[in-house]
Amino acid sequence: MSIPTIARVTVHPVTYPEPNDNNSMRFLTFVRIESTDGHVGWGEAITQFPASTRGTVEIVKALTDDLIGKDPTQNLGIWRDLRKQTWWYSYRGGLAHFALSAIDIALWDLKGKIIGQSLIQMIGARDSSADIRVPVLASTHVFNKSLDYEVARHAKYVQDGYIGFKIGMGKRGDARVGYDVDRDIKFVQDLRAAAGPEAWIMMDRGQSLNWTLDETIARVQAWEESGLKWVEEPFEPWEFEHFRKLRQHITTMIAGGEREWDYRGYSEAINSGTLDVVGVDVGRVEGITGMLSIIKLIEAAGLWFNSHAWSSAINTAASIALSASTPRCLIQELKPDVNPMQHELIEEPFVASKGTIGVPNKPGLGITVNEKVIEKYAF
């Protein structure tokens, strides 16, 4: 029997309205890789904006000729070759990392389908449980002018099967959370009262917000009284001294890292000693292969791994398996509101149940992509 090789590589940018982000238009880049025996693998980059999406598309197209004819089961070697090829425009990050992420995820998906193994079988689970489930969190943005509405909305997520929620502040819409210390403190107090004593509550400063050290200390100390689980990126990633000073005044965990690109960037963030929870997005950090190396760093440092999966079900499928591969995973993020790239894109959308979510166990990523949906939202 001849070994199947890569026959076709196509790139599919999409744009869609995201209900979890006030229906703002978001952008993703998908890569489809087909082997000579008819198997298909799908990958994704969380390119997010028009310009970065267009640039990533061109890089993937430029790399296509170097993929045709290769053995997709040798995906680690292909990953290393592409990394070497893009060295001039990928040092410390950039669009090449998006391109490599989408290609790498698609290759793992394709490999699994060819050899008949799921991603969790290929990378290894954190334990030998037959039915591995990962705690799941509703990851949201607040955008309604009425904070009473937002409080009720988030309390319902807990009722619907999520262990808690992480709220992004300073986002699109009229909520204006993150701008007034006293109002922000009361908001979290109300969230705790509505969601109950056991719900996990995380607060994530958006990049549009700029907090002083003093007001950050005031916010987080007050939120701690409401049982805050962690505060995410309270400052810009490189403001290590602010993080260190904040640490002296709080006991809650500090999360960050999602804007890093690769092993080198995460090494620096981890070695700064400022983080407890490290956020990583498989659609940004050179794919599954890149993410596995970062997970090893996190494990060695005794920190917590958090998979930032705020895009499509392709990213989510890979993320859940990666979360299940390490004992240093606290939680898996999932967008709770019905949206095109989670609930239309695949045949069996991911659903939280009793605070957990199951790990895909079919070959590859374990999902079936509806290509008509990708055509529908083509960019």
Instruction: Write the DSSP assignment of 115-135 as a string of letters.
Output: HT-BHHHHH--SS--SS-EEE
Instruction: Give the residue from 293, 357, 361 showing the smallest Cα distance to 134.
Output: 357
Give the total number of structural domains in the chain. Answer: 2
d(CA 28, CA 51): 11
Same domain, 109 and 13: yes
Residue 363 covered by a domain: no
Mean pLDDT of the chain: 96
Question: Which residue range is the domain that position 25 belongs to?
Answer: 6-116+371-376
Segments of the chain assigned E as strands: 6-18, 24-35, 40-48, 133-141, 164-168, 200-204, 230-232, 253-256, 277-280, 304-307, 329-334, 356-358
* Residue found under tokens 């998906």: 109
Same domain, 110 and 225: no
* Residue found under tokens 């430029």: 62
- The upper half-sphere exposure of residue 39, i.e. CA atoms within 13 Å in the direction of its Cβ, equals 24
pTM (two decimals): 0.97
Same domain, 60 and 77: yes
> Angle at Cα 283 formed by Cα 273 and Cα 97, nearest 5°?
80
Same domain, 301 and 200: yes
Q: Is 317 helix (H, G, I), strand (E, B) or coil?
A: helix
Same domain, 291 and 339: yes
pLDDT digits (tens, 9 = 90+) for 224-268: 999 999 999 999 999 999 999 999 999 999 999 999 999 999 999
Q: What pLDDT sits at residue 208?
A: 87
Q: Which two tokens stand for residue 147?
A: 């904070």
- Burial of residue 85 (CB within 10 Å: 0-12, 13-18, 19+) is middle
Same domain, 288 and 157: yes
Residue 341 covered by a domain: yes
Mean pLDDT of 359-376: 97
Angle between helices 313-324 and 95-115 (to 10 degrees): 70
Q: What pLDDT sits at residue 279?
A: 97
d(CA 258, CA 280): 5
d(CA 280, CA 308): 5
Q: What pLDDT sits at residue 130?
A: 63
Same domain, 159 and 39: no
Same domain, 168 and 81: no
* Residue found under tokens 């198997």: 39
Same domain, 129 and 78: no
Q: How confident is the model at residue 339 (pLDDT cuts 50, 70, 90)?
A: very high
Q: What pLDDT sits at residue 333?
A: 96
Same domain, 232 and 321: yes
Residue 98 covered by a domain: yes
- Burial of residue 207 (CB within 10 Å: 0-12, 13-18, 19+) is exposed
Residue 192 covered by a domain: yes
Instruction: Give the residue from 309, 315, 317 showing the smallest Cα distance to 363.
Output: 317
Residue 364 covered by a domain: no
Q: What pLDDT sits at residue 206?
A: 87
CATH number for the domain spanning 337: value is 3.20.20.120
d(CA 255, CA 140): 16
Mean pLDDT of 143-165: 96
Residue 304 covered by a domain: yes
Same domain, 175 and 207: yes
**Residue 113 pLDDT > 90, yes or no?**
yes
Q: What pLDDT sits at residue 2?
A: 80
Q: What pLDDT sits at residue 1?
A: 64
pLDDT digits (tens, 9 = 90+) for 11-45: 999 999 999 999 999 999 999 999 999 999 999 99
CATH number for the domain spanning 76: value is 3.30.390.10
Same domain, 39 and 139: no
